Amino acid sequence: MDKKKLKGGIFNRISDTNLLLCITIVIFLIMYISAIVFLGGGFKKPQMFFNILNNEAPLIITACGMSIVMISGGIDISIGGVVALVCMSCAVYIDKTPGGGNVWVSMLIALGIGLAFGIVQGYLVAYCEIQPFIVTLAGMFFARGMTTIVNTDPFNVENSAFRKLKDTRITIPKMGSYTKKGLYQAAYIEIGVVVAIAIVVVLFLVLRYTKLGRSFYAVGGNPQSALMLGINVKRTKFLSHVICGLMAGIGGYVYFLHVGSGAPSHATGMEMNAIASSIIGGTMLTGGVGNIIGTLFGVLSLSSIQNIVSSAGLGQAWWTGITIGGMLCLFLLIQSIVMWAKKRSLKA
Amino acid sequence: MSNNDTKAPANKFFTVVKKVVSHQMFIPIMALLILAIVNLAFDPNFFKITLGKNNAGNPILSGPLITILDYGAETAILAIGMTLVTAAAGGQDISVGATIAIAGSAMLRVLCGTNPSPDTIQAPIIVAFLVACLVGIACGAFNGALVSFFKIQPMIATLILFTAGRSIAAWINYNKLPVVPDPKFAYFGGIIPGIPVPTPIFIMLACVIIMALVLKFTNLGLYTQSVGINEKSAKLNGINPIAIKFIAFVILGLCVAVAALIKVSRISTINYSVIAKDIEMDAILAVALGGNALSGGKFNMWASILGAYVFQFLTTTLYKFNIASSALPAYKATVVILLVFFSAPKVREMIGKGFKKMKDSMKNRRHKAATASEGEA
């Protein structure tokens, strides 16, 4: 009996958000360390970790936006489409305008597209009370369609100013490794990673310490009681979508910087990856529970699974999909069971 | 309603109009009518159905209307199951496209064995279909168990099969693309010789009739709605919400198997990454266009099926205007947003208020004018 009480005590002292966050971080660490121990090879090099960051920086940014929408009780499945549209529009602007476009203006275009989607979708969801799923589904279709209307064929951007920005690498001292030939390779990250980390920090602080951030949780947890607390529920929902749209714009530009091309098939399924990483990171679709740091670890877990599967010698392409599905299932069941156990221990 | 009887007949007319306009079926039917009129305006032969012969010399009906009914069949069948899931669980199943790939792949595995291009089929078609049904039910049961028993939100629970489904489908056949040699297998997605109407239409009608009978003679509809509206009070009234949600997902699994039969039969083979792509979105939009609340509760099955056909009608119309298939989503999205915008209760309320204000101000002006003229007199 004593033991049970003690367990209940620990459970109760941690909030839902932090509990799920702890589970995520522990599972990620176990997974990554066991990969280093059992698989070795590439996983021993720090660059493997930085490569995950380099590849997944756009996903980190968009998943953060997604988490905020999910915390406030909505969903946004348009982000993959918006990312593709941003890539294509910026690519066309930089490469096809006579004399070459300005890189800085292209950033404004990216932000503008993201904001426009966020504002329109946010208005329809918050003030017209249309289900967010349908609004953003239509948004996704619209963005995908617009991408092919802007330009049908995929192409690489050759503008020199853009190339220079794209190839900028930030080396990290003392983390490099030696190749088989004995050459020293410095570890590096791309600009996108810096942007992603900055956004994670800013959004984490916003969610934790500002009035707006706390009202996201309140609105997601229970809109009616949030209204009684004097929170402007509609405006909060609207702003969550605006932030998510903005993140899709920034994420789109980072994606553009990473791949350096525009194509209608860019970022296919990114919205689902973002949702999956938010969930793995402990955000609940019902709203009110979630954490940006968790989302970061969710993205890292998702990407590590892919890397582990491909380096574990399971060559067949289908194993990646099946393993990610299985991991997702595992995370969801753990979350479900933990929440159930917590509820029970609270009752007892 | 009763106090309306005492008012003027003009008001009675208004209430009838209001009743019609506010009916759930109004938006999908209006959308169908508008689409039909637009098509008729640009192409007077739109509704012409001709009896021709296909390559094999069998009679076949052709015309845009037949195409719509034919190709909308899968979405309509899925919309049946999706409506139930939406109503019971208050969420949507986004794995149906991937599950179609799994069921279709299993069907091909049974029909073709391990040889990707056999000379004869290895098992009767009915056995293959039953296996596909079992696979569909199993997938539905998996989703249903996660949603009902583990209380995971439907969209998240089905995200698992959404990510893993197409990989599982590829795994079942070891990524080979078996081709069914028996021409009889193509009947389900094409036509049966001698019957000029495409078979998917019959399959769709059969599903609709079965569903209508189930809704008429069992309590399924009532129970589903009560679970969707208020799970707790449904439980207090002796309805088991877990069982109802589970059954809804299993029924959707069956619908998926039927849709997989049509989809695979259309081309006699399968493409794991492309088959039934985005069909889950079409099915969910069909439910929404039918005016059903995506948050669960009351539902109207016929409105959903009509919604599926509105969507197919729109697709066919856009193709007729020579719009590239890759740009299609943008136009579809615009129409969908407009439809959903005008059927949203809040927007209707706002429009209604604006309308009333206008009417009031007109009345006031008339009243003022009347008093002014009286004063002059």
DSSP B81-139: HHHHHHHHHSS----HHHHHHHHHHHHHHHHHTT-SS-SS-SS-HHHHHHHHHHHHHHH
pLDDT digits (tens, 9 = 90+) for A171-224: 877 766 776 676 777 788 888 999 999 999 999 999 999 999 999 999 998 889
Residue A343 burial by CB count (10 A; 0-12/13-18/19+): exposed, middle or buried?
Answer: exposed
Token reading at B60: 């076949």
Residues B91, B292: Cα–Cα separation, whole Å: 12
Alpha carbon A305 to its chain centroid, in Å, reads: 16
Within the 182-211 window of chain A, which residues sit less than 8 Å (CB to CB) from chain B?
A: none
- Which stretches of chain B drop beneath a pLDDT of 70? 1-10, 374-377
Alpha carbon B18 to its chain centroid, in Å, reads: 26
- pLDDT tens sequence for chain A (348 residues): 444 444 455 555 666 667 778 888 888 888 888 888 887 777 777 888 888 899 999 999 999 999 999 999 888 989 999 999 999 999 999 888 777 778 889 999 999 999 999 999 999 999 988 888 889 988 998 999 899 998 888 888 888 888 888 888 888 777 667 766 767 777 888 889 999 999 999 999 999 999 999 999 999 988 899 999 999 999 999 999 999 999 999 999 999 999 988 888 888 888 888 988 888 888 877 788 888 998 999 999 888 888 887 777 665 667 777 888 887 888 788 777 877 877 787 776
User: What is the per-residue DSSP string for B357-370?
Assistant: HHHHHHHHHHHHHH
Q: How many domains does chain A have?
A: 1
- To the nearest whole angstrom, how far is the Cα of A260 from the nearest Cα of chain B? 22
Token reading at A287: 């709203």
Spell out the domain ranges in chain B.
66-343, 344-377
Residue A1, Cβ neighbours under 10 Å: how many? 6
- To the nearest whole angstrom, how far is the Cα of A4 from the nearest Cα of chain B? 23
pLDDT at residue number A5: 45
User: What is the per-residue DSSP string for A58-118?
Assistant: HHHHHHHHHHHHHHTT-----HHHHHHHHHHHHHHHHHHSTT---HHHHHHHHHHHHHHHH
Token reading at B8: 């003027």
Q: What is the pTM of this model?
A: 0.82
pLDDT at residue number A89: 93
Residues B322, B4: Cα–Cα separation, whole Å: 50
- To the nearest whole angstrom, how far is the Cα of A254 from the nearest Cα of chain B? 24
Which residues in A lie closer than 8 A to residue B339 (C-beta atoms)? none
Closest CA to B272 of B94, B109, B146: B109
pLDDT at residue number B41: 86
A326–B157 C-beta distance less than 8 A: no
Is A315 in the B-facing interface, judged by CB distances under 8 Å? no
E strand or H helix that includes residue A190: strand A184-190
Q: Which residues pair with B60 in a beta bridge?
A: B52
Closest CA to B185 of B129, B247, B102: B129
- Domain B66-343 matching CATH 1.10.3470: the answer reads yes
* Residue among B164, B288, B344 whose CB faces A129 most closely: B344
Listed in sequence order, the residues at least 6 apart from B295 whose beta carbon sits closer than 8 Å to its beta carbon are A131, B90
Among B337, B342, B346, B348, pick the best mutation site for testing chain A contact (most A Cβ within 10 A): B337
- Burial string for B310-324 (b: 16+ CB within 10 Å, else e) reads bbbbbbbbbeeeebe
Nearest chain B Cα to A137, which residue? B281
Residues B263, B72: Cα–Cα separation, whole Å: 11
**CATH code of the domain containing A323:** 1.10.3470
A144–B329 C-beta distance less than 8 A: yes
Closest CA to A216 of A292, A275, A141, A280: A292
A276–B150 C-beta distance less than 8 A: no
Residues B271, B259: Cα–Cα separation, whole Å: 15
B159–A135 C-beta distance less than 8 A: no
A264–B326 C-beta distance less than 8 A: yes
pLDDT digits (tens, 9 = 90+) for B8-21: 666 777 778 777 77
The end-to-end CA distance of chain B, in Å, is: 40
A145–B326 C-beta distance less than 8 A: yes
Which residues in B lie closer than 8 A to residue A149 (C-beta atoms)? 327, 330
Within the 94-153 window of chain A, which residues sit less than 8 Å (CB to CB) from chain B?
A: 124, 127-131, 133-135, 137-142, 144-146, 148-149, 152
Is A341 in the B-facing interface, judged by CB distances under 8 Å? no
> What is the phi/psi pair of residue A174, to 5°?
65, 10
Which residues in B lie closer than 8 A to residue A138 (C-beta atoms)? 333-334, 336-337, 340
Token reading at A117: 């989607």
Where in the sequence is the domain holding A268, given as residue range(s)? 2-347
CA angle B283, B284, B288 (to 5 degrees): 120
Nearest chain B Cα to A126, which residue? B346
